[in-house]
Amino acid sequence: MRLFILAALALGACLGTASAQQAGMGCTAQPSAAGTQTLRCGAGLTIVAESGAQFTLLDRDGNGHVDAVELQSKAVFVEAPKKKTGKPFEVITPQAIAAVRGTKWAVDAEGTKTSVFVDTGRVAVRRTTAPGQVVLGPGEGVDVDAASSAPLEVKRWGAPRVAALMARLGR
């Protein structure tokens, strides 16, 4: 399954937050295409960070493995293998939480907006500040704007928007 979650903040960028933690969480880093960095973590988890992305790897259950990414700026692409038990892997931004089991996805945070796109598979997306969620399927996306309290609206994304994000992630 492929999932792209886009979350972007207009903050300064550095990958130092994640790099300092990766060894303690079973991740190894390697340079990738287009200036991105790939983190390969235990249990088949792969995180590709856009050049300058600012994020933190989280181990919320204390088992020594990454189970979430807190994204402050730019974009990440995540390949999370299917889990049989426990909480789904999440990407958390200031505006949204996107949760999934066994899929590939990307997150891009910009200003006060988080955008989520699914290539294949399904992803649940909700605001960090309000109840309710939407479930996205293949080709669908949602923009979560902090300034709006309107219900989340699922839309089909056009090829140019998807291609622009994937290019930033070296895909």
pLDDT in tens, the chain (171 residues): 344 444 332 222 334 445 445 556 889 988 776 789 999 998 888 999 999 999 999 999 888 889 999 999 999 888 887 777 778 899 999 999 999 867 877 788 888 999 988 877 788 999 998 888 999 888 889 999 988 888 999 999 999 999 999 899 888
Query: What range defines the domain where residue 44 resides?
Result: 4-168
Q: Please count the structural domains in the chain.
A: 1
Q: How far is CA 31 from CA 28, 37, 38, 53, 62, in A?
A: 10, 5, 6, 14, 28
Residue 133 in contact with residue 142, Cβ under 8 Å? no
Residues contacting 143, CB < 8 A, separation 6+: 113, 114, 115, 116, 153, 155
Query: pTM surpassing 0.75?
Result: yes
Task: Output DSSP code: residue 14.
Answer: -
**CA–CA dist 26, 43 (Å, integer):** 9
CATH code for the domain in which residue 66 is found: 2.60.120.1440
First-to-final CA distance of the chain: 15
